[in-house]
Structure 1
Amino acid sequence: MVARGRGEGMRREPVLERQESLFDIRLDARDRSGGAPPPADPPRRVRAAKKAEPPPEPPAPRRGRAEPPARPRRRRRGPFLFRLVKWGFILGLWGVLALAGVIAYEASKLPPMQTLMIPKRPPTVTVLAADGKALATRGDMGGVAVPIRELPPYLPKAFVAIEDQRFYSHFGLDPEGLARALVTNLTSRRLRQGGSTLTQQLAKNLFLTQERTASRKVQELVLALWLEHKFTKDEILDLYLNRVYFGAGAYGVEAAAQRYFGKSARQVSLAEAAMLAGLVNSPSRLAPTRNLRGAQQRAALVLSAMRQQAMISQDMAGAALARPAQLSRAGMPDSSGYVADWVMDQMDSFVGELPGDVTVRTTVEPALQQAAERALEDTLAKSGAKYGVGQGALVMLDTDGAVKALIGGRSYADSQYNRAVTARRQPGSAFKPFIYLTALEHGLTPDTVREDAPVQLKGWRPENSTHDYRGPVTLTTALALSLNTVSVRLTLEVGPKAVVATAKRLGIASALDPNPSIALGTSEVSVLELASAYTPFANGGIGVVPHVIDTVKSADGKTLYQRAGAGPGRVMDPAYAAMMNQMMTQTLAIGTARRADLPGWQAAGKTGTSQDYRDAWFVGYTARYVTAVWLGNDDSSPTKKASGANLPVEIWSRVMKTAHQNVPVAELPGGLRTAGFGGIGYGQPGGSFLPPESVPDDRPPAVVGEAPAPRQEEPMTLDRWFVQTFLGGGQRR
């Protein structure tokens, strides 16, 4: 019996050749570096047979038990992660090298760091009023530098809180802030935040332009690192606060505080400090002068940031929020800009090159400047359209020639052209006092009679504005009623050159044509010089140089200029000044300026209206002040019959009332006090008193009654007239 082996009687499964799994990633000798060479190709027939051989059938599953499916083997990730890290490192290294190259290239465009210096701050000129209050500031920075140690502690803290919270910990670049700004800008898909530190902002302001380019940004970073290396944090903050722009033309925290709050930065409140700090983000849009509500809302964010960073207490924040900063209403008038510009025009002559910040004390009285500005603006707002007048100018002097108020136009914000100093316009009849003074100096008197009748000179036929004639009239009446024919006759009698010499002697600096038409004021003059030329009438014959600068001092208190009070001296005999005053008081009593209203004060003056009503003037004075008013249009277009008798007189009256409040009453040189007009009466020499109601308002007045006939007696000498009129030596004539 044949013994069965161990496996006899059992079904034997066919054994197939081992097949390589598709998921087997084990290396064989052929995959290894330096492994055995591949075996020699089998005979072609074998290879052909193998090619023709169909793929083997998978083994049949065993009965009674299912075989689990084969699990695929996972690919090992070690080499992939290694390559990723490796290439990331390589790319990062190249990026750093590229960035370093860009930084080096941009840095090469800057001056050598060893020669780099903080640019010298441009000098600031602070213009003060006569009482020491700031009128305006001028200069590229617009305000003096204030050391950080002199500022309230919460002022610099406000800037750090809202602009650069990590200012005292970063090295000039704030990576955290930059990353946050980058994420914000990417998620919002627009530029909403900037990552610049205070140091970067300072670098931009000191050395770079405002253009937004990658090149400038890189240079800004390089310069910020240099600033951090060279200066302390407080020094950087000091430079920043005194140079950053705050809107409305204010550079530096001092200029901004003066511009918006009418006070020094040393005195600002917490609410005001928060508003200033909030402005630098968008100074043009948030300037309180144009967007007070927006500036207050931004200030509230600054206060919240300061509270969150424990820079202020909750009570301090609450108090500041309850009373937000307000724009100063007690600041200097807008027209102060005309004064400041005129001051700057003179600085080079008085001081030369400025050694640094300087302070200029002027002669301007803020109350009078404000009154003059309001009077001009209110009158033009009420009647400008009716009379076709668009502009005006005003100058007020004291009897020493000091400028007390100067208005160069209706609005300095709209036009900086100074019509009081720079513009030249025809004065019309306001020039006639120089003709009459010349006539007096040639032997005539206020009682001298001349014919008011048609005049013809080589085809030129000047007429009175009313086109009628009064026959023989005294010089007093002719000047009060502004009779053109008499003025022409006097000019021809004394000679145009003599009239020009008189006007120049009294203070007219503009070129004057010595021809007969000068009798009607055809040569152009400025408001300032016409006011100064009238001043000798008010002070008894002393010439003045109109001036606005009293002292100039440097930042350390050194006096760079002090007005010495020098002037041309006496330019008119006191007796002639008295005669002219007697004549020109009649302009306000019975003449073209009878609408002038200054109760209790003796006043004189002269109206003027140029051809076609292009210019309207009134220059009037008391023993204290001289005020000249001009109205017209910049393009010299005719007005709608605006004359010196209406709007200029109205403006003059308002300003002079303010100027003479609480001022001791003084008489004009010559002692002309009598009973009558406004408490101070004015008699007409050689004739009867003419009541104001007898004179028309809108045109040069006509004479009521007959003019007195000339007296047949010996000629009146100057000495005899003065004795009879002012010393009681005879009947006043």
Structure 2
Amino acid sequence: MARARSPKPAPKPARSPWRRRIVIALQLLIGMGLIAVAALAVAVYVTRAQLPSFSELKSSPNGQMIRVHASDGSVIVSLGPSYGEWLPYERIPAVMRDATISVEDRRFRSHPGVDPIGVARSIKARWDRGRWTQGGSTITQQLARNIFLSSQKKFGRKFREGILALAIERAFTKDQILELYLNKVYYGGGAYGIDAAARKFFGHGADELTLAEAAVIAGLVKAPSNYSPTADADAAVGRAGVVIETMKETGAITASQAAAADVEGLKLAPEPRQNSVRYFTDWALPQLDVLIDEQQAPLEVWTTLDPAMQRQADAAIRANVPGGAQGALVSLDRDGAVRAMVGGTDYVSSIYNRATQAQRQPGSAFKLFVYLAALEAGHKPEDSIVDEPITIDGWSPRNDSRRNSGPVSLRTAFAYSLNTVAAKLGQEVGFATVADMARRFGITTTVNTHPSMVLGTSDVRLLDMTRAFASVANRGVAVAPYGITRVTANGETIYTHEVDRSHVLVAPYVAAEMTDLLQTAVNTGTGRAAQIGRPVAGKTGTTSSSKDGWFLGFSSGLTTGVWFGRDNARPISGLSGGRAPALAWAAFMRPATAKRPIEQFETQVTLPEWQLEPDEESYYGAPDDGESGGQMVDGDGNPVTTAPADEGEDAVIDGESRPAPDTAPATPQQLNQDWIDRVTGRSDPSRQPPVTQPRAPAPRPLQDERPTQ
């Protein structure tokens, strides 16, 4: 009997190639994961070893501190981080600790430095909204960023932030981390740390914080500028409400405590008064980026600002500014040192610096460059030129009086700001030459070369114009405005200003002749209101429809420029350079020069003997409010026989001249050269008996003027 054949075993199913690949991939991923974990551990270990100690981190600065000194050494501004007292953990109120943890990192006590749940939540919000709207950073990560990194939202920075956070958690306890964080985080307004923030916003130290106050401060971390109680009280209150609600959710406070917190009833500490000194510091301090390289050490910055002059400048602008207008003033010493700078009537309401930033038409003050070019070309102040109608490329300028005076000297034409003569001189020397002269003397804005440019149709800055007049006063040598004299860091001088006196702009005789014209404009012409009882040289400027009024001049080594106008360039009734600006200039310069010796110019205005009186006011000629030599004068000092024209001296609209109202009498009174020569003492000897130049009488004491700040 045959044996039964045993069945063959079933063949084993072939392994799926995909399964094998998945296994290999998993093995690779696990291997790579283990390598990554090992690398992370090494990175954290190395970083931990390189971390500063806790005491070193406590003493590290939060930013660069800058103290600004006036010329007398007094501190006028302290800028940079505001330091409060360092509060150890046990002195930090529990409500402050709980508020911060609740709103910034509620799992602070349990995570290792990086919170995976917070990261996942941040990624989900990014996916849902298409942009990053939530941060997944823990308190430890924020501390790492504040101390060691920047705030750039880049993956590389976030990765380094995570490594640092893990290392910090290994180096310090949770309480130490929270202590560092609360004493170093930025709360806005220059305040770093809770004590500085509490003193800034509430006027007391952080160890006295209430629940409502702690909620306001804790809410600032997310966006200090948006939630600042001094900038937006409603936003700060709303954010503090979110913090209190979060504290209730986390169990940090009870419902009754949350209800009792009166955030809306909080009283803020008053803001320190910001005076006009900030216009100066806002202009001067950005120059540190060019002058020095130091970015960390606390700086002591010594400046040129004279506190007394600054107060006088502020008072002069406020006392004379037309209603609804703004004003600016710059005063330079003979070497370019800025002694006073006012950029507006109120720094708190407007930080815009009209002395250094605003660009406005200067009107006839621009004629300084026209006459400089003419004098350099060979003209003399005594040269005769005909004041007559003129047309240049279709442009026909007119004098404000709508009259022409025939042959007059350059001195007379400048003193009374005759537009036709300025146009003639500009055409003669070339309008491009006038523009080059303006640029040579420090005008940094664009200067057009249209014929009407001689009447000041190009926008300029007050600081640049003041610099130009100061260079004339400096006998034609360039004057460069500066505000910083010395900078020290850690007791060592790292910068000292050096005055450059080598740049000659025009020959000394040209500057002397220009000074001759400028002082005549003050003594007998449009700038009579700027007389201060000592030699003054200056020029007025008024633009079309009285939109801008200027006066710039110098005396006793001090050059000052004043501007009045509206920011929107709307007309101001009655504004002209010879009125409010000249009066403000005089109000500032009287006390500013009171302790300076009287300095005579190289060319002096000499009055006839019969007009002298035994006091210097008569000698230099006080403003006479409407009468001069028996003749009526308009607001700019021009002799007229009827009411003055309503508009400004320059009569320029959009770069073109415009006629003044027809107020001339039937028989118009000409601007008589004989009258000018007689008043200035430059009469032809054949027409008047010769007189000797009198000695200037000794000045009488000036009143002590101490305007309030």
Distance of aligned partners of 1:627 and 1:127 in 2 relative to their CA distance in 1, 3 Å threshold: farther
Contact 2:369 2:437 in 1 (8 A): yes
- Could you tell me which amino acid in structure 1 is paired with residue 633 of structure 2? V
| 1:405 and 2:343 correspond | no
RMSD: 5.4
| 1:143 and 2:85 correspond | no
For 1:584, which of 502, 518, 524 is the aligned residue? 518
Distance of aligned partners of 1:259 and 1:430 in 2 relative to their CA distance in 1, 3 Å threshold: farther
Distance of aligned partners of 1:113 and 1:332 in 2 relative to their CA distance in 1, 3 Å threshold: farther
CA offsets per residue over residues 573-598 of structure 1, 9 Å max, x none? Answer: 443333332322232333222222x5
In the TM superposition, 1:42-61 aligns within 5 A as: none
TM-superposed CA distance for 1:335, in Å, is 5.1
Contact 1:173 1:200 in 2 (8 A): no
CA offsets per residue over residues 612-660 of structure 1, 9 Å max, x none? Answer: 3332211122123211122233344444452212232233233323423
Alpha-carbon distance between aligned partners in 2 of 1:659 and 1:155, rounded to the nearest angstrom: 51
Distance of aligned partners of 1:136 and 1:399 in 2 relative to their CA distance in 1, 3 Å threshold: same
For 2:634, which of 664, 680, 696 is the aligned residue? 696
- Could you tell me which amino acid in structure 2 is paired with residue 612 of structure 1? S
Contact 1:123 1:358 in 2 (8 A): no
In the TM superposition, 1:502-651 aligns within 5 A as: 502-554=437-489, 556-596=490-530, 599-651=532-584
For 1:500, which of 429, 435, 459 is the aligned residue? 435
TM-superposed CA distance for 1:137, in Å, is 5.4
**Count of residue correspondences:** 531
Alpha-carbon distance between aligned partners in 2 of 1:350 and 1:342, rounded to the nearest angstrom: 14
| 1:679 and 2:613 correspond | no
The equivalent residue for 1:361 is 302
For 1:664, which of 588, 596, 616 is the aligned residue? 596
The equivalent residue for 2:413 is 478
TM-superposed CA distance for 1:350, in Å, is 2.1
TM-superposed CA distance for 1:345, in Å, is 3.7
The equivalent residue for 1:189 is none
Alpha-carbon distance between aligned partners in 1 of 2:637 and 2:354, rounded to the nearest angstrom: 26
TM-superposed CA distance for 1:467, in Å, is 1.7
CA offsets per residue over residues 316-360 of structure 1, 9 Å max, x none? Answer: xxxxxxxx997586x651551x33333344233222473544343
Distance of aligned partners of 1:271 and 1:624 in 2 relative to their CA distance in 1, 3 Å threshold: farther
Alpha-carbon distance between aligned partners in 1 of 2:591 and 2:477, rounded to the nearest angstrom: 25
Alpha-carbon distance between aligned partners in 1 of 2:629 and 2:208, rounded to the nearest angstrom: 62
The equivalent residue for 1:468 is 403
Contact 2:64 2:295 in 1 (8 A): no
Alpha-carbon distance between aligned partners in 2 of 1:369 and 1:250, rounded to the nearest angstrom: 28
Distance of aligned partners of 1:540 and 1:356 in 2 relative to their CA distance in 1, 3 Å threshold: same
SS of 1:489's equivalent in the other structure is: helix
| 1:126 and 2:66 correspond | yes
Contact 1:442 1:494 in 2 (8 A): yes
Alpha-carbon distance between aligned partners in 1 of 2:335 and 2:632, rounded to the nearest angstrom: 37
SS of 2:589's equivalent in the other structure is: helix
In the TM superposition, 1:180-219 aligns within 5 A as: none
Distance of aligned partners of 1:710 and 1:412 in 2 relative to their CA distance in 1, 3 Å threshold: closer
TM-superposed CA distance for 1:552, in Å, is 2.8
TM-superposed CA distance for 1:452, in Å, is 1.8
In the TM superposition, 1:181-260 aligns within 5 A as: 230=171, 239=180, 243-245=184-186, 247-251=188-192
TM-superposed CA distance for 1:441, in Å, is 2.7
For 1:435, which of 370, 373, 380 is the aligned residue? 370
- Could you tell me which amino acid in structure 2 is paired with residue 458 of structure 1? D
Distance of aligned partners of 1:666 and 1:254 in 2 relative to their CA distance in 1, 3 Å threshold: farther
**Unmatched 5+ stretches in structure 1:** 1-104, 176-196, 210-219, 262-267, 296-323, 717-723, 729-733
The equivalent residue for 1:383 is 323
Alpha-carbon distance between aligned partners in 2 of 1:725 and 1:241, rounded to the nearest angstrom: 83
Contact 1:127 1:340 in 2 (8 A): no
Contact 2:306 2:339 in 1 (8 A): yes
In the TM superposition, 1:306-455 aligns within 5 A as: 327=270, 333-334=275-276, 336=278, 338-352=279-293, 354-380=295-321, 383-384=323-324, 389=325, 391-455=326-390
Contact 1:372 1:407 in 2 (8 A): yes
Alpha-carbon distance between aligned partners in 1 of 2:283 and 2:598, rounded to the nearest angstrom: 31
- Could you tell me which amino acid in structure 2 is paired with residue 547 of structure 1? Y
SS of 1:500's equivalent in the other structure is: helix
Alpha-carbon distance between aligned partners in 1 of 2:313 and 2:621, rounded to the nearest angstrom: 31
SS of 1:559's equivalent in the other structure is: strand
Alpha-carbon distance between aligned partners in 2 of 1:450 and 1:257, rounded to the nearest angstrom: 72
Contact 1:155 1:274 in 2 (8 A): no
SS of 1:513's equivalent in the other structure is: coil
CA offsets per residue over residues 95-147 of structure 1, 9 Å max, x none? Answer: xxxxxxxxxx9xx9xx9586487999675362513234444455xxx327x6x
SS of 2:578's equivalent in the other structure is: coil
Alpha-carbon distance between aligned partners in 1 of 2:440 and 2:304, rounded to the nearest angstrom: 24
Alpha-carbon distance between aligned partners in 2 of 1:431 and 1:411, rounded to the nearest angstrom: 28
Alpha-carbon distance between aligned partners in 2 of 1:205 and 1:227, rounded to the nearest angstrom: 13
Contact 2:538 2:552 in 1 (8 A): yes
Distance of aligned partners of 1:626 and 1:492 in 2 relative to their CA distance in 1, 3 Å threshold: same
The equivalent residue for 2:673 is 707
Alpha-carbon distance between aligned partners in 1 of 2:166 and 2:61, rounded to the nearest angstrom: 21
TM-superposed CA distance for 1:710, in Å, is 12
CA offsets per residue over residues 465-505 of structure 1, 9 Å max, x none? Answer: 22222222222222121111111112222332332333333
Distance of aligned partners of 1:113 and 1:550 in 2 relative to their CA distance in 1, 3 Å threshold: farther
TM-superposed CA distance for 1:514, in Å, is 3.7
Alpha-carbon distance between aligned partners in 1 of 2:579 and 2:676, rounded to the nearest angstrom: 33
Distance of aligned partners of 1:153 and 1:507 in 2 relative to their CA distance in 1, 3 Å threshold: closer
Contact 1:531 1:619 in 2 (8 A): yes
Distance of aligned partners of 1:341 and 1:496 in 2 relative to their CA distance in 1, 3 Å threshold: same
Contact 1:245 1:280 in 2 (8 A): no
Instruction: Report which of the two structures shows the higher radius of gyration computed on alpha carbons.
Output: 1
- Could you tell me which amino acid in structure 2 is paired with residue 594 of structure 1? R
- Between the aligned residues of both structures, percent identity stands at 34
Distance of aligned partners of 1:402 and 1:520 in 2 relative to their CA distance in 1, 3 Å threshold: same
Alpha-carbon distance between aligned partners in 2 of 1:221 and 1:412, rounded to the nearest angstrom: 43
CA offsets per residue over residues 134-173 of structure 1, 9 Å max, x none? Answer: 44455xxx327x6xxxx77999997558735999xxxx97
The equivalent residue for 2:8 is none
Distance of aligned partners of 1:204 and 1:566 in 2 relative to their CA distance in 1, 3 Å threshold: closer
- Could you tell me which amino acid in structure 1 is paired with residue 68 of structure 2? L
Alpha-carbon distance between aligned partners in 1 of 2:218 and 2:472, rounded to the nearest angstrom: 57
**Unmatched 5+ stretches in structure 2:** 1-36, 101-106, 111-137, 152-160, 221-225, 238-266, 641-668, 683-689, 695-709
